[in-house]
Amino acid sequence: MSVHIPARPPADAGAGYRAGKTLTVRVELARQIRRKRTLVAFLLVIALPLIVVAAVKFGPSSGGGGGFGDGDLDLVGLATAGAWNFTLTMLFFGSGFLLTVLAALFLGDTVASEANWSSLRYLLAAPVPRRRLLRTKVIVGLIFTVAVLLTLVVASFLIGLVAFGSETLTSPLSGTFGTGESLQRIAVITAYIGLTMLFPAGIAFLISVLTDVPLAAVGSAVIITIVFGILDRIEALGDLRRLLPTDYGAAWLDALGSQIAWGEMAIGATYNVVIFTVLIAIAFVRFDRKDILS
């Protein structure tokens, strides 16, 4: 085999290299989209409504026609009222754990797994500037998080439409809404739930930058979120619990009143955005100074 090595072009010190063109969002999307992890995440959020429909239709307690849930706030019991309510219930189910895990996965796995595969050092040596690498990783992680959230909503709505009809939203608090109003409420709730994913996402991303073990990043974010959730239920902590970002996780229920009560959601959204920014800022500064040994 004779290899032809082309002649060296005239010396022009790094000509052609543009830092602003390295690891674009489009390229990072192409790098991530074929991962099995990504596929599984989307399948999960499509499977969730299907499983619930199956449980409602074929479950042992389907005789009564209503409610396998009871309690003050009958979100679950209303699930079968129509596509809108079904979507609402799926958002309720999803926001508890599944979406948190997925957000943590998309942002927690992203840098740590590159380190784990050793591809991180070649990207940085390319060179992709460190902050640009993190920036792209955060954007792509958030794009995927929003995409699964929207997939959950759209899939739930379509599946609910087939299974339970197009009846508009009935609030578990009181009242029913028209189509436009239903759309508005579901949109507000979806947006808010999306924003509450920022806290686990931020934690996961920070740990992802600090460690080479992808599972550690995702796991710690989920565990921290769960621990905060438990702390949030300890009455003895009183108003201290208002400091926990997870305290605002259910504030979207305020979008179900006769009027949308924005107060709690505004605080929750702001708190999540601010904490996310702080965590990402720490990640950026830490990564700047980090020696890449992986």
Partner 1 sequence: MRRWLGSAAVVVIVALTVAPARAEVSPEALQLPGAATSATDPSPVTLSADLYLPTQVPAPAVVLAHGFGGSKAAVAEEAAYLQERGFAVLAYSARGFGESTGLISMNSPQFEVADARRIVDYLSERPEIVQDGAGDPRVGVSGGSYGGALALLLAGYDDRIDAVVADITWNDLESSLFGQSARGAGLGVLKQLWTGFFFSAGLLPSGGNPLAPGPVTECGRFSPEWCAAYTEAATTGTVSPAAAELMAASSPASVSNSITAPTLIGGGQSDSLFPLAQANANAEQISAANPDVPVKVVWHAEGHDGGVDETERLRALGADWLSAYLADGPAVSTAFEVSEVSGSAVSDRAAGTVDVLSTPDYPGLYGQGQRPIPVRGPTQQVLAPAGGVPAAVTALPGAGGLAGLASSVLALPLPGQSAGFLSEPLAEPLQVIGSPRVRLQVSSDRPVRDAVLFASLRIADASQRQILPNGLVAPIRLAEIGPEPVTVEVDLPAIVTEAAAGDRLAVVVATTDQAYRLPEGPAVYTVSLPDGEVFVPQVDVVSTATEAPAWLWPLGGLVLVLVIAVVTWLLRPRHGDDEPRPDASAGPSAAAADVPISVRGLVKRFKGGLTAVDGATFTVPPGVVLGLLGPNGAGKTTTMRMIMGLIRPTDGEVRVFGQRILPGSAALARIGSFVEGPGFLPYLSGRRNLELYWKASGRVGQEPYFDGVLEIAGLGSAVDRKVKTYSQGMRQRLGLAQAMLGMPDVLLLDEPTNGLDPPQIREMRDVLHAYAATGRTVIISSHLLSEVEQTCSHVVVMNRGQVIAEGTVAEFMRGRTGQRLEDVFLEMVGEGHTVVSS
Contacts 24+ apart (CB under 8 A), 41-47: 41/102, 41/105, 41/106, 41/144, 41/148, 42/147, 42/148, 42/151, 44/98, 44/102, 45/94, 45/98, 45/99, 45/102, 45/148, 45/149, 45/151, 45/152, 45/155, 46/151, 46/152, 46/155
State the nearest-atom distance from the C-beta of 222 to partner 1, in Å: 22
Q: Chain centroid to CA 188: how far?
A: 16
57 contributes a contact to partner 1 by CB under 8 A: no
Specify the residue, 46 or 266, whose C-beta has the smaller distance to partner 1. Answer: 266
**Residue 7 backbone dihedrals phi, psi, to 5 degrees:** -65, 155
Choose one: 56-64, 95-103, 185-193, 234-242; the region binding partner 1 (CB under 8 A): 234-242
96 contributes a contact to partner 1 by CB under 8 A: no
Give the angle 143-194-209 at the CA atoms, nearest 5°.
55
**Residue 170 backbone dihedrals phi, psi, to 5 degrees:** -105, 125
State the nearest-atom distance from the C-beta of 117 to partner 1, in Å: 5
Letter for the amino acid at 213? V
Choose one: 40-48, 67-75, 141-149, 202-210; the region binding partner 1 (CB under 8 A): 67-75
Please state, in angstroms and rounded to a whole number, the distance separating the CA atoms of residues 185 and 193: 12
171 contributes a contact to partner 1 by CB under 8 A: yes
Specify the residue, 157 or 271, whose C-beta has the smaller distance to partner 1. Answer: 271
Specify the residue, 36 or 63, whose C-beta has the smaller distance to partner 1. Answer: 36
259 contributes a contact to partner 1 by CB under 8 A: yes
Of positions 58, 60, 125, 236, contacts partner 1 by CB under 8 A: 125
Report residue 221 as tokens.
């974010």
Site for partner 1 in 268-287 (CB under 8 A): 268-271, 273-275, 277-278, 281, 284-285
| Number of residues in the chain | 294
Question: Cβ(109)–Cβ(218) under 8 Å?
Answer: yes
74 contributes a contact to partner 1 by CB under 8 A: yes
Choose one: 49-57, 104-112, 151-159, 254-262; the region binding partner 1 (CB under 8 A): 254-262
State the nearest-atom distance from the C-beta of 199 to partner 1, in Å: 12
Report residue 70 as tokens.
């009871």
173 contributes a contact to partner 1 by CB under 8 A: yes
Task: Identify the residue whose tokens are 């840098």.
Answer: 111
Residue 265: exposed, middle, or buried by beta-carbon count in 10 A (0-12, 13-18, 19+)? buried
292 contributes a contact to partner 1 by CB under 8 A: yes
Of positions 64, 174, 180, 230, contacts partner 1 by CB under 8 A: 174
Helix (H, G, I), strand (E, B) or coil at 142: helix
Specify the residue, 20 or 63, whose C-beta has the smaller distance to partner 1. Answer: 20
8 contributes a contact to partner 1 by CB under 8 A: yes
118 contributes a contact to partner 1 by CB under 8 A: yes
Of positions 55, 78, 205, 206, contacts partner 1 by CB under 8 A: 78
